[in-house]
Structure 1
Amino acid sequence: MELVELLFRAEKRLSGLHPLVADKARALIRKAYEEGIYIIITQGFRTIEEQNRLYALGRTKPGRIVTNARGGYSYHNFGLAFDVCVCNVFKGTLIPSWSLDRRWFRVGQIGKSLGLEWGGDWKSFKDYPHFQYTFGLSLAQLRAGKKPPSAVVAKK
């Protein structure tokens, strides 16, 4: 599996993210790859409606609970968060591996070294796939219309 393929696959999911957050996601893919860890982006920007559908899972819709955030209460809704999955490669094919192992924790460390907040560090709801960069803005500020800076250079 080549790095260029992992980066190409990520682009669709990075659409809608703040440019700095998208750059940090790409840097995470690159740095993990350098350590022999293959990750894919599984989620990026989510609309309020998409967030509410996810929130309903395990509550009013069949399935397991995957988020504690209603629409407007997730950094995904503002283009400041993304989710990843660690993958195995079998005969050139990426196979998602949702089993927590050392690779997940290493990806978390790499993300934090890039200035990202990692959901695996959260106390009440561990969200190992989740990374966010908030620019110091709260969800209340974002809901009120405050915007992150538009021109920022990413740390790579």
Structure 2
Amino acid sequence: MGKLHYSDRSWGNISKLANDTKAKATALFKYAEDNNIEVLIYETIRTKAQQEANVKSGASQTMKSYHLVGQALDFVPTKGSATKWDEYGRADIKKFIAKAKALGFEWGGDWTSFVDKPHLQNNYKGYDTDTFGDAPSKSPQTPSKPSASGSVVDYLNSKKIDSSMANRKKLAAKYGVANYTGTATQNTALLNKLKAGASLSKPAQSGYKGTSLVDYLKSVKKASDYSSRSKYATQYGIKDYKGSTSQNLQLLKKMRGF
């Protein structure tokens, strides 16, 4: 029907995507405009520096992000200028998601290990196979077998365990690696102890599949009041916790181990 409140911002973010992903996202947002489905495409590509900063701060656990290679976008339902984080179940948003899937996107809301409703991912021919500009098409990468040593972060990620600095410090204390600061020597020692020791316990899981931190905490029988959430935030490396939507989503991911 025409321009949406966040059309300019959304189109600007779409323009940053890799070729195939951009074409699909263009068709998707055009569908939204034509059908007056109010959404905001609030994030698409991340630079290597941004992702490195996210990993360093604990906001992300790995450098392998589909955002990093221009093959993912994050969206939120809106109503006018207001973002509606709890309205992914809205009838028109369901149509938007169905259109995205028809175009070839994978929706994070369908994931069973961790529900990520804002996330749409274009797997294309595999990770980092989409191209920018006139670059030739990339062939799917054949995964190489991990080395015998690997890294403690990769090992924890493979077990779906929080690999943030804060959690590695806890694991180091548990496994007898004194004064852990994340040095290569300490990481190797911790990795060897983890591999030789008892299996790690995963974060508390429940049947709850939504994106509400409070509801998740209640489902795993943890205190969900603001004071408790502030303590969890400090524990998981989230600074200056104010209970914002973005902080709650970040904390929810960390507490679920992703």
TM-score of the superposition, structure 1-length normalised? 0.69
Aligned to 1:9: 9
Contact 1:108 1:120 in 2 (8 A): no
Confirm whether residue 148 of structure 1 aligns to residue 140 of structure 2: no
Letter in 1 for 2:77: V
Gaps of 5+ in 1: 60-64
**C-alpha separation between the residues in 1 aligned to 2:118 and 2:51?**
16
Letter in 1 for 2:84: S
Letter in 1 for 2:103: L
**C-alpha separation between the residues in 2 aligned to 1:34 and 1:151?**
33
Letter in 2 for 1:29: F
Deviation at 1:28, TM superposition (A): 1.4
Letter in 1 for 2:130: P
Deviation at 1:49, TM superposition (A): 2.8
Contact 1:3 1:30 in 2 (8 A): no
**C-alpha separation between the residues in 1 aligned to 2:118 and 2:5?**
20
Aligned to 2:84: 97
Contact 2:20 2:130 in 1 (8 A): no
TM-score of the superposition, structure 2-length normalised? 0.44
Deviation at 1:6, TM superposition (A): 4.5
Confirm whether residue 108 of structure 1 aligns to residue 97 of structure 2: yes
Find the structure with the greater CA-based Rg. 2
Deviation at 1:18, TM superposition (A): 0.8
Aligned residues: 132
**C-alpha separation between the residues in 1 aligned to 2:77 and 2:136?**
30
**C-alpha separation between the residues in 1 aligned to 2:25 and 2:117?**
15
Letter in 1 for 2:3: L
After superposition, the C-alpha distances for 1:95-132 in whole angstroms (9 at most, x for unaligned) are: 21111332443322110011111111111111111112
Aligned to 1:46: 46
Gaps of 5+ in 2: 138-258
Distance 1:88 1:56, change over 3 A: farther
When you count strand as a share of all residues, which structure comes out higher?
1
What is the aligned counterpart of 1:131 among 110, 120, 124? 120
Q: Secondary structure at the match of 1:98?
A: coil
Letter in 2 for 1:98: W
**C-alpha separation between the residues in 2 aligned to 1:86 and 1:30?**
15
Deviation at 1:31, TM superposition (A): 1.4
Distance 1:37 1:56, change over 3 A: farther
Aligned to 1:37: 37
**C-alpha separation between the residues in 2 aligned to 1:19 and 1:125?**
28
After superposition, the C-alpha distances for 1:22-59 in whole angstroms (9 at most, x for unaligned) are: 122122112123333111211111023322444566x4
Letter in 1 for 2:62: R
Q: Which moved more, 1:117-126 or 1:13-22?
A: 13-22
Identity %: 28
Q: Secondary structure at the match of 1:26?
A: helix
